[in-house]
Amino acid sequence: MRPGRQLAVLGLIFVVLYLLVFFSGGASGGFKDRLEPRLGLDLVGGTRMTLEATNSIDGKPPTAENLEEARQIIENRVNAYGVAEAEVVTEGNRNIVISLPGENRDLTDVGSAAELRFRKVLKVADGSGAAAAPAATPAPSGSAAPKPSGSAKPSASASPSGAKVTATPSAGGQGGMAPTPTAGATSASPSAAAPSPSAGAEPAPQGIEEQRKAVQQKVGADAWQAASGLQAPADPSLAEKLKPFGALSPREVAVLPVEMQFYVPTITCAQLDQRPAASIKDEKQKAVACEDGVQKYLLDVAKVLGTDVGDANAQMDQTSSWVVSLDFKGNGQEKWTNLTREAFTNEGQACDQTALGQDGKCRVAVVLDNKVVSSPEIQGVLTGDSQITGSFDNKTASALAGQLRYGALPVTFEPQEQQNVTATLGASHLRAGLLAAGIGMLLVIIYSFFYYRLLGSVIFLSLVLSALLVFGALVVLGRQIGFTLTLAGIAGMIVSLGVAADSFVIYFERLKDEIREGRSPRSAVPRAWTRARRTIISANAITIMSAVVLYVVSVGAVKGFAFALGLATVLDLVVVFLFRHPIMTMFARTRAFLSPRVSGLGRILPPARSEQASRTSRVKEA
């Protein structure tokens, strides 16, 4: 063989690897900064959030199956952010705890339900709380006048504010809300006006009914009676009587009937936006939600759901703006087409004058959880997929796409606490672990030189090269795929070094067996390699397969241990074939290797054979 070629290949691998370490994407800072791998929560600290799960606003606990499904969806969302070694675990029968390495991470949206609903806008009112009646606030030139909020074609995606839905095929012109809503709300058709709460149009579960009674006692009988009779925007004279509703908490507002939430002018968007998750979850009920924090919408039942969306992806449109592309699945496309047809023709005159866009067409609100993401005017019957566009950047568009892609959570959550976790204990354990590993490796090297002498240098150099390869790979993988090094990962690498040391024993003891059979050290090297190679590959293959199985079936820190063990074992095989065997071939050609005292083979070479081997070597050299 030509060992120089194999050593050259190994050298090329090192050059490419460390060029990536110092100059690949994500490498920044000084020399030391570029050599730092991505460290896990137990080494550098991080962020931990606890989410408390409830099945609905009535406070019932979730089932174990729903809680586990929610945990898996949240874990997928976290991984979609590019964060590795994240821990998402259940705690008790109501809580999910999320732990991510790195400080100052925003986990606000990780536990959001991400329930997508497409609803027609039936009526619009002022949600700022500044007006006593919805129809009195907007004016053509006033600051409270509704602004365009969406479109039904891609060309409108550059609108400066608000998110909206656009259809992939162009189907009309510029959309938006009517700039001057008037008092015509009271003249809307019967289909637009909802029955009063007292009529029982919205049957409430027993738990919610009890909460309503508590709210009724809080606001007083007069205020409740005035609000219960509203079927149109409240008269300004009732503003003082309805004032107690402005003091309700978001949770208390959530249990009120839909018509009361909309028609009572003192219930503002600030209260509606902060309602608990799943407050408007039921797609078969009308709902009230806000857009931009000032516009309060009475929304129709949802006729297209997030489950009708097959895929969602963050991408850039023709104007270089970030959008979220929606692909409908199954009969979802047919539902979307039917909904846009209803809105375009204002079927049954369901949308009153306050809800029509600039061109007199109905608008469709895209509702994510409790808020309106967009409310474009539908300019035609849309038969293609759609886009959610607006003031997105790469991060926010990717986060929204990930929420929609992995589906809505079967359980709703309320964040309980978010805190930064220090790595004091982890750093102490790391120092102790590295010290123990260093002492152990030092003892191995001392024993190797004592027992194998010159061959001990092969063990030492191989372990150093393996460590350098593993370290460089960790740095690069941390930048490219988000691999995070934890204490468990360090343990995996230390175990792999022990496996590497075992392969030396196999090779060198096989070499001794060849010499005992009467072969010279020079001829014994290739024969020992041929016979030991299969055993070395088999042993390492078993370790790699064990690491793969452990990685697949495990979670959290154990997964990091398995990944580090498998990576280090693979790189050790690279060192075995590209360094250990070539360097032994080169040593076999040296005079020192043929000296029993230097090579470490003297204990198995009889003196006469050793002297004869040395004399034969000198004759061949002459």
pLDDT tens digits for range 65-96: 878 878 887 877 777 665 555 678 787 777 88
Measured CA to CA in angstroms, residue 93 lies from 54, 72, 89 at distances of 10, 15, 11
Report the distance separating Cα 370 and Cα 289, nearest Å.
Answer: 6
Report the distance separating Cα 603 and Cα 450, nearest Å.
Answer: 12
Domains 3-38+423-621 and 116-193+278-412 share a fold: no
pLDDT band at residue 490 under the 50/70/90 scheme: confident
Q: To the nearest whole percent, how much of the chain has pLDDT over 90?
A: 5
Instruction: Tell me which amino acid residue 338 is.
Output: N
Q: Which residue has the higher pLDDT, 86 or 517?
A: 517
Over residues 227-235, mean pLDDT:
77
Burial status of residue 605 (CB atoms within 10 A of its CB: 0-12, 13-18, 19 or more): buried
Q: What is the residue-wise DSSP string for 417-443?
A: EEEEE--HHHHHHHHHHHHHHHHHHHH
Angle formed by the axes of helices 454-480 and 487-516, to 10°?
150
Residue 98: what pLDDT? 82
Report the distance separating Cα 420 and Cα 583, nearest Å.
Answer: 50
Over residues 219-228, mean pLDDT:
86
Secondary structure (3-state) at 458? helix
478 touches 38 (CB < 8 A):
yes
- Going by the DSSP 8-state scheme, the letter that residue 124 receives in this structure is E
Report the distance separating Cα 602 and Cα 455, nearest Å.
Answer: 12
Over residues 145-155, mean pLDDT:
36
Tell which phi-psi region holds residue 573, choosing left (phi > 0), alpha (psi between -120 and 50) or beta.
alpha
Q: What is the residue-wise DSSP string for 254-293?
A: HTS-HHHHHH-TTS-HHHHHTSPTTTT--TTS-EEEEETT
Over residues 612-619, mean pLDDT:
51
Strands of 95-101's sheet in order across:
87-91, 95-101, 46-54, 412-421
Q: Is the pLDDT of residue 278 over 80?
A: no
Q: Strand 295-299 relative to strand 116-126: parallel, antiparallel, unpaired?
A: antiparallel
Place of tokens 């024969």: 527
Q: Is the pLDDT of residue 15 over 80?
A: yes
Residue 374: what pLDDT? 76
Over residues 37-50, mean pLDDT:
75
Query: What is the value of pTM for the model shown?
Result: 0.50
Over residues 462-487, mean pLDDT:
84
Q: Which residues contact 483 (CB under 8 A, 6 or more apart)?
A: 38, 84, 85, 474, 477, 563
Q: Which residues contact 61 (CB under 8 A, 6 or more apart)?
A: 53, 54, 55, 93, 94
pLDDT band at residue 145 under the 50/70/90 scheme: very low
Place of tokens 């460390």: 18
Residue 183: what pLDDT? 31
Q: What is the pLDDT of residues 392-430, one digit of tens each?
A: 788 778 877 776 776 667 777 777 777 676 665 566 777
Residue 301: what pLDDT? 92
Place of tokens 């939430």: 261
- Show me where the domains of the chain are located: 3-38+423-621, 46-111, 116-193+278-412
Q: What is the pLDDT of residues 441-474, one digit of tens each?
A: 788 788 888 877 777 888 888 888 888 898 889 8
Q: What is the pLDDT of residues 522-542, one digit of tens each?
A: 788 888 888 888 888 998 899
pLDDT band at residue 172 under the 50/70/90 scheme: very low
**Cβ neighbour number for residue 419 with a 10 Å cutoff:** 10
Residue 16: what pLDDT? 92
Q: Out of 84-88, 386-390, 423-427, 477-481, which region has the weakest mean confidence (pLDDT)?
A: 423-427
Residue 136: what pLDDT? 41
What is the per-residue burial (b if ≥16 Cβ within 10 Å, else e) of 510-528?
A: bbbbbbeeebbbbebbebb
Mean pLDDT of the chain, nearest integer: 74
Q: Is the pLDDT of residue 177 over 70?
A: no
Of 339, 408, 354, nearest to 165 (Cα)?
Answer: 339
256 touches 275 (CB < 8 A):
no
Q: Out of 20-24, 140-144, 240-244, which region has the weakest mean confidence (pLDDT)?
A: 140-144
Q: Is the pLDDT of residue 604 over 60?
A: no
Tokens of 241: 């009587």
Residue 59: what pLDDT? 54
Report the distance separating Cα 267 and Cα 253, nearest Å.
Answer: 8
Report the distance separating Cα 579 and Cα 38, nearest Å.
Answer: 28
pLDDT band at residue 127 under the 50/70/90 scheme: confident
Q: What is the residue-wise DSSP string for 518-577?
A: T--HHHHHHHHHHHHHHHHHHHHHHHHHHHHHHHHH--THHHHHHHHHHHHHHHHHHHII
164 touches 174 (CB < 8 A):
no
Measured CA to CA in angstroms, residue 308 lies from 362, 363, 383, 405 at distances of 22, 20, 14, 11
Secondary structure (3-state) at 131? coil
418 touches 125 (CB < 8 A):
no
Q: Is the pLDDT of residue 545 over 90?
A: yes
Over residues 182-193, mean pLDDT:
34
CATH entry, 46-111, from 3.40.50.620, 3.30.70.3400, 3.40.50.10610, 3.20.20.80 = 3.30.70.3400
Strands of 309-316's sheet in order across:
164-167, 386-389, 322-328, 309-316
First to last CA, the chain: 23
Give strand pairing partners of 366.
118, 374
Residue 113: what pLDDT? 65
Q: Is the pLDDT of residue 144 over 50?
A: no
Give domain 3-38+423-621's CATH architecture.
Up-down Bundle (1.20)
Element (H, E) at 186: none
Report CA Rg, the chain: 35
Secondary structure (3-state) at 369? coil
CATH, range 116-193+278-412: 3.30.1360.200
Q: Which of 160-164, 232-236, 304-308, 428-432 reaches the highest mean pLDDT?
A: 304-308
Tokens of 515: 């010499």
Report the distance separating Cα 503 and Cα 580, nearest Å.
Answer: 10
Instruction: State residue 10 phi and psi, 5-degree precision.
Output: -60, -40
Over residues 32-38, mean pLDDT:
78
Tokens of 473: 């790979």
Residue 520: what pLDDT? 75
Q: Is the pLDDT of residue 7 over 80?
A: yes
- Going by the DSSP 8-state scheme, the letter that residue 178 receives in this structure is -
